[in-house]
Amino acid sequence: MKIISFISAALLTLSIVNSQQAHAWGQTGHRVTGQIAEVYLSENAKVAIESILDNESLAEISTYPDEMRSSPSHFWQKVAGPFHYVTVPEGKTYSELQTPPQGDSFSALSMYKKVLQNTESSRAQKQLALKMIVHIIGDLHQPLHAGNGTDRGGNDFKLSFFRKDSNLHGVWDSGLIDQKQLSFSEWTAFLLPKISNEQVKAWNTADPLVYIQESIEIRDTIYPSENDLSWQYLYDHTPTVKLRLQQAGVRIAAYLNNIYR
């Protein structure tokens, strides 16, 4: 199938439904995952990516899908929203469910992988596909982007974080990260040396079902019993934030290395 026909068919069947309207990890977190991923790319992946991008790093492109949310184009307003998350009810696994008609993170990754693998794809199509893949894998490592379907991935769970009104999703997107007052390059400088060779081997999977299941298991442990969060919640969950940023970076590279074997 020609790539234009493939994308056209996808666009006809996808429409935004109940978008969670959230940006996983915020700009800082996504850039951390992109910068970590650069270190673990294979030579084949590096060459392919260099031919696709316009002198951009993975850190730079990692935030592109969030930055385009205000674009008036049909794709960004009516199609791309559901690509940022999956919905898995409590007690279920993603494999037990049917992909929603509007698509989700899992189906989007599969679609954009095919775009990169298709020799008939244009450079512009490959650019979009690469930017979406880097972003979506980051999204899937934020536990609340594997929402349970009851509260829009924690967006409806209102709370106070360090005396400011927020919600649980916002706390995990950026609150826990921004509270440290570090730039994305500082975060990366702190996290990257702590990734061991053994961890790289253990995390080196291109299977999104693994990312999703891990997030589901974490998701079910991070709902607080109170609505006024500060230092204790930060202390309890910062190790998980660090782990997921590290894993997301390694997995972005693993996914791209698998495409460009």
How confident is the model over 58-90, as pLDDT tens digits? 999 999 999 999 999 999 999 999 999 999 999
Q: Is the pLDDT reported for residue 14 higher than 80?
A: no
Q: Averaged over 157-170, what is the pLDDT?
A: 97
Q: Identify the pLDDT of residue 13.
A: 35
Q: Identify the pLDDT of residue 22.
A: 52
- In this structure, of 1-10, 47-56, 150-159, 216-225, the range with the lowest mean pLDDT score is 1-10
Measured distance CA(216)–CA(85) in Å, rounded: 12
Q: How does the average pLDDT of the chain come out, rounded? A: 92
Measured distance CA(117)–CA(80) in Å, rounded: 21
Q: Identify the pLDDT of residue 234.
A: 98
> What CATH number is attached to the domain comprising 192?
1.10.575.10
Query: Which SS3 state, helix, strand or coil, does residue 229 take?
Result: strand
Q: Identify the pLDDT of residue 24.
A: 74
Q: Is the pLDDT reported for residue 18 higher than 70?
A: no
**In this structure, are residues 133 and 257 in contact, taking their beta carbons and an 8 Å threshold?**
no
Q: Identify the pLDDT of residue 70.
A: 94
Q: How many domains does the chain have?
A: 1
Q: Averaged over 173-177, what is the pLDDT?
A: 96
Strand spans (E) along the chain? 86-87, 146-147, 158-161, 164-167, 228-229
Q: Averaged over 232-243, what is the pLDDT?
A: 98
Q: Is the pLDDT reported for residue 2 higher than 60?
A: no
How many residues are given for the chain?
A: 261
**In this structure, are residues 103 and 109 in contact, taking their beta carbons and an 8 Å threshold?**
no
Residue found by looking up tokens 């993170």 in the block: 105
Q: Is the pLDDT reported for residue 23 higher than 70?
A: no
Helix locations, 73-170, DSSP H: 74, 105-117, 123-140, 168-170
Q: Identify the pLDDT of residue 223.
A: 97
Q: Identify the pLDDT of residue 20.
A: 41
Q: Is the pLDDT reported for residue 5 higher than 60?
A: no
Measured distance CA(220)–CA(145) in Å, rounded: 12
Q: Identify the pLDDT of residue 101.
A: 95
Structure tokens at 46: 């590096």
Task: Note down the domain range covering 57.
Answer: 3-259
Measured distance CA(139)–CA(80) in Å, rounded: 13
Let me know the angle formed at the C-alpha of 119 by 116 and 124, rounded to the nearest 5 degrees: 55
Q: Identify the pLDDT of residue 25.
A: 86
Q: Identify the pLDDT of residue 7.
A: 42
Which of 108, 109, 93, 100 is CA-nearest to residue 148? 93
